Amino acid sequence: MTKDLAGTRIAFLAAPDGVEQVELTEPWEAVRDAGGEPVLVSTAPGKIQAFHHLDRADRFDVDETVDQADPAAFDALVLPGGVANPDFLRTHRDAVRFTRAFFDAGRPVAVICHGPWTLIDAEVVRDRRITSWPSVRTDLVNAGAHWVDEEVVIDTAGGNTLISSRRPDDLKAFCAAIVDHFRPADQQQSRPADQQRSRPAGAGLSDAEAAREVAGQTSADRRAADVFARESGGTDTDTEAARASADDLR
């Protein structure tokens, strides 16, 4: 078992109701098995209700609420699908701002199925190459995206890495792309030295060095956190496999 994502925290953003369970649980397992820390973020505390298509499936504990979660505390974002899930998130102001913060900071984002609806309202798809569930195609094209019909699409031309897939059948390729492109080494190569997040600020340094590092911490982190705080009014600037994996989220 590889540990390519050791030391990373990956946000999984889902609405309280309607997420397609397998699109949550399989990427979650892939992140966890690669040594990363998956974190379930939602718009309300408690539990979310997942679905197998139109049928209620399992419930999962929320780790952080989107109004309190700091985008700068995560290395990447995953947006699962399900019809109702992204349709709700796109209308939730804090969820849209949280999503956009990853693009503003240049951090990787992975989205599948109907998930790009949230990206449209975050206004981050223009000129991006992306795929989705077929019925979302017109919405993406109208928002300025370059839609393609492929199993997995990896677009790096817009300031961050955007991974997208069409449907649950694409999950194997989708999960492999997440592990490959969410790796800390990849992120460090694409960031200035002062934006590398392989260790906490100041770890292993002298007091003077630690103070300098903290003072000069990633401008992308600060920009994303400030925008998020300001706009949210803060004061600080297939089915059995899904059921089997569901126990591991709880």
Active-site residue set: 114
Cβ atoms within 10 Å of 3's Cβ, excluding its own = 10
Looking from the CA of 163 toward its CB, the CA atoms found within 13 Å total 23
- The beta-carbon contacts of 117-120 under 8 Å, at least 24 apart in sequence, are 117/86, 117/87, 117/89, 117/90, 118/13, 118/79, 118/86, 118/89, 118/90, 119/79, 120/90
- What end-to-end distance do the CA atoms of the chain give, in Å? 22
Q: How do strand 55-61 and strand 37-42 relate by DSSP bridges? A: unpaired
Q: What does each C-alpha distance from 202 to 149, 184, 206 come to in angstroms?
A: 45, 18, 8
Tell me phi and psi for residue 59, to 5 degrees: -115, 145
Tell me phi and psi for residue 193, to 5 degrees: -60, -35
The one-character DSSP state at 112 is: E
Q: What does each C-alpha distance from 140 to 26, 59, 130, 146, 181 come to in angstroms?
A: 25, 30, 8, 8, 23
